[in-house]
Structure 1
Amino acid sequence: MYEQFTKPILDYSIALVMFLLLSPVILLVSILLAISHRGNPFFLQERPGKDGKIFQIIKFKTMRDLTDVNGKQLSDYERLTLMGKIVRKTSLDEIPQLLNVLKGEMSLVGPRPLLPEYWTLYSEEQRRRHDVKPGITGWAQINGRNALSWEEKFRYDLEYVDKISPRMDAKIVLVTLEKVVKRHGVNANNYMTMEAFKGNVA
Structure 2
Amino acid sequence: MKIYKHFFKPLLDKLSAILGLIAISPVFILTTLLLTIANKGKPFFIQERGGKNKTVFKIIKFKTMNDKKDANGNLLPDKQRLTKIGNFVRNTSLDEIPQLINIIKGDMSLIGPRPMLAEYLSIYNDHQIQRLNVKPGITGWAQINGRNNLTFNKKFDLDIWYINNLSFKLDIKILFLTLIKIFSTLDVNQDGNLEVTAEKFNGKN
TM class, shorter-length: over 0.9
| Alpha-carbon distance, 1:115 to partner | 0.3
Distance in 2 (alpha carbons) for counterparts of 1:67 and 1:114: 25
Distance in 2 (alpha carbons) for counterparts of 1:122 and 1:76: 27
| Alpha-carbon distance, 1:19 to partner | 0.6
Distance in 1 (alpha carbons) for counterparts of 2:59 and 2:110: 13
Q: Which residue of 2 aligns with 1:47?
A: 49
- Give identity over the alignment, percent: 51
Distance in 2 (alpha carbons) for counterparts of 1:67 and 1:151: 33
Q: Which residue of 2 aligns with 1:16?
A: 18
1:57 lines up with 2:59 in the alignment: yes
Distance in 1 (alpha carbons) for counterparts of 2:127 and 2:117: 17
Q: Which residue of 2 aligns with 1:194?
A: 198
Q: Does the aligned pair in 2 maintain the 1:106–1:134 contact within 8 Å? A: yes
Q: Give the superposed CA RMSD.
A: 1.2
| Alpha-carbon distance, 1:146 to partner | 0.4
Distance in 1 (alpha carbons) for counterparts of 2:56 and 2:38: 30
Distance in 2 (alpha carbons) for counterparts of 1:119 and 1:178: 31
Letter in 1 for 2:9: K
Judging changes above 3 Å, is the alpha-carbon distance between structure 1 residues 122 and 11 closer, same or farther for their aligned structure 2 residues?
same
- TM-score after normalising by structure 1: 0.95
Distance in 2 (alpha carbons) for counterparts of 1:178 and 1:104: 27
Q: Which residue of 1 aligns with 2:101?
A: 99
Q: How many residue pairs get matched?
A: 201
Distance in 1 (alpha carbons) for counterparts of 2:161 and 2:76: 35
Q: Does the aligned pair in 2 maintain the 1:63–1:79 contact within 8 Å? A: yes
| Alpha-carbon distance, 1:66 to partner | 2.8
Q: Which residue of 2 aligns with 1:134?
A: 136
Q: Report the more deviating stretch, 150-159 or 73-82.
A: 73-82
1:167-186 aligned at under 5 Å gives the runs 167-186=169-188
| Alpha-carbon distance, 1:77 to partner | 1.6
1:74 lines up with 2:73 in the alignment: no
**Helix, strand or coil at the partner of 1:93:** helix
Letter in 2 for 1:31: L
Q: Does the aligned pair in 2 maintain the 1:123–1:200 contact within 8 Å? A: no
Distance in 2 (alpha carbons) for counterparts of 1:79 and 1:118: 25
Distance in 2 (alpha carbons) for counterparts of 1:85 and 1:199: 30
Distance in 2 (alpha carbons) for counterparts of 1:67 and 1:118: 27
Q: Report the more deviating stretch, 42-51 or 134-143.
A: 42-51
Q: Does the aligned pair in 2 maintain the 1:30–1:41 contact within 8 Å? A: yes
Q: Does the aligned pair in 1 maintain the 2:39–2:67 contact within 8 Å? A: no
Letter in 1 for 2:84: L
Q: Does the aligned pair in 1 maintain the 2:51–2:57 contact within 8 Å? A: yes
1:32-43 aligned at under 5 Å gives the runs 32-43=34-45
Q: Which residue of 2 aligns with 1:154?
A: 156
CA-to-partner distance for each residue in 1:108-145, whole Å, 9 max, x for gaps? Answer: 00000000111122111101100000000000000000
